[in-house]
Amino acid sequence: MSGDHGLRSSISASLNALNQNSALHICLVGDEAAIRSSLLASNYDSARLSICHSPDVVAMDDLPSKALRYKKQSSMYRALELLRDGNVAGVVSAGNTGALVAMGCIILDRLPGVRRPAICAPVPAKNGYTLMLDLGANIECDAEHLYQFAVMGAALSNALDGRDAPRLALLNVGAELIKGTSVVKEAAELISADSRLNYIGFAEGNDIFSENIDVMVCDGFTGNVALKVCEGTANFIRGQLKETFMKSLYGRLAALVVKPVLNAFQKDINPERYNGAALLGLNGVVIKSHGGSSVKSFEAAIHQAARAVRGDLTQAIASQLHTTES
């Protein structure tokens, strides 16, 4: 029910996802009357689409502490309870990120050994996409946090794409071993010492888009800033291209010629295709969709949740961390 567009995105996205995946079952959590009203004009298989009534909503500006205390009848809280109790296999939410992380930690709990959950999302790259974490859940991290992020990111890459040995890199100010903070250097030692991880060393910001890295690890402050810069740059280039082509008659004619190429380019870098950030380290599959998700981008988050469930993501992370602790 939450997110900038509420049911306008989630209902259509859910119906589209059901049509594309015959093995999928979806439970819509929120105000039942509003949901049923939105479904009136739609054809769907009622055996694969259920509704769980929840009268309240976590607002996008609610403090996490307030949401935890006063929003126990909200759709977000109830959805996480359904996951905890085994009634659903995963949760997708476009709501308040802070509240979702806080509720996830309390309702689902963290996996044994996980010090902090991390937000991991795909970023468009030459090889399809690069998984990047943390993207904002942990502003300050020590070396052990970064090491656990590497373990969890590798497990997500395996669950989503079947990569047995995803290539891991640490985001740094340079590729040389002598560069970086003491925390990053210590994290590099911990990651490289784990023979199960395919660690390829330090990487710089421009390497995020290369075809040489599957998982990029960093603290939440750096990751969030890098992500917003990537999004802003893509929007800037898109806007500048459009403005340049529209300045003159020649530009408009040229735009007609190159339009198929531009459309293909925009499709490749369109963030809607890569929507869905996994909250790694919780005892269950939780996918955070962008607050302003369109139908297409919310649908992408649903499909990502389904892949994570099929790949048994939670158990994969738990088993790797258990081995580490042993």
Q: How high is the pLDDT of residue 270? A: 56
Closest CA to 310 of 87, 63, 24: 24
Look at the pTM and tell me if it is higher than 0.75. yes
Give the chain as a 3 state SS string. Answer: CCCCCCHHHHHHHHHHHHHHCCCCCEEEEECHHHHHHHHCCCCCCCCCEEEEECCECCCCCCCHHHHHHHCCCEHHHHHHHHHHCCCCCEEEECCCHHHHHHHHHHHHCECCCCCCCEEEEEEEECCEEEEEECCCCCCCCCHHHHHHHHHHHHHHHHHHHCCCCCEEEEECCCCCCCCCCHHHHHHHHHHHHCCCCEEEEEECHHHHHCCCCCEEECCHHHHHHHHHHHHHHHHHHHHHHHHHHCCCHHHHHHHHHHHHHHHHHHHHHCHHHHCCEEEECECCEEEECCCCCCHHHHHHHHHHHHHHHHCCHHHHHHHHHHHHHC
5 has a pLDDT exceeding 70? no
134 has a pLDDT exceeding 60? yes
Q: How high is the pLDDT of residue 81? A: 97
Percent of the chain predicted with pLDDT > 90: 58
33 has a pLDDT exceeding 70? yes
Least-confidence region, from 4-13, 217-226, 227-236, 268-277: 268-277
| Average pLDDT score over the chain | 88
208 has a pLDDT exceeding 70? yes
For residue range 117-130, what is the model confidence (pLDDT) as tens digits? 999 988 888 878 89
265 has a pLDDT exceeding 80? no
For residue range 232-241, what is the model confidence (pLDDT) as tens digits? 887 788 788 8
229 has a pLDDT exceeding 60? yes
- The pLDDT of 250-274, averaged and rounded, is 66
Domains of the chain as residue ranges with CATH: 1-114+281-306 (3.40.718.10), 117-275 (3.40.718.10)
For residue range 66-86, what is the model confidence (pLDDT) as tens digits? 999 999 999 999 999 999 999
25 has a pLDDT exceeding 70? yes
Q: How high is the pLDDT of residue 285? A: 96
273 has a pLDDT exceeding 70? no
Closest CA to 108 of 75, 86, 93: 86
Least-confidence region, from 140-154, 212-226, 279-293: 279-293
Q: How high is the pLDDT of residue 272? A: 58
131 has a pLDDT exceeding 90? yes
Q: How high is the pLDDT of residue 255? A: 74
Q: How high is the pLDDT of residue 263? A: 64
For residue range 157-202, what is the model confidence (pLDDT) as tens digits? 988 888 889 999 999 999 898 899 999 999 999 999 999 999 999 9
- The pLDDT of 22-50, averaged and rounded, is 92
243 has a pLDDT exceeding 60? yes
- The pLDDT of 290-294, averaged and rounded, is 78
8 has a pLDDT exceeding 80? no
Q: How high is the pLDDT of residue 301? A: 92
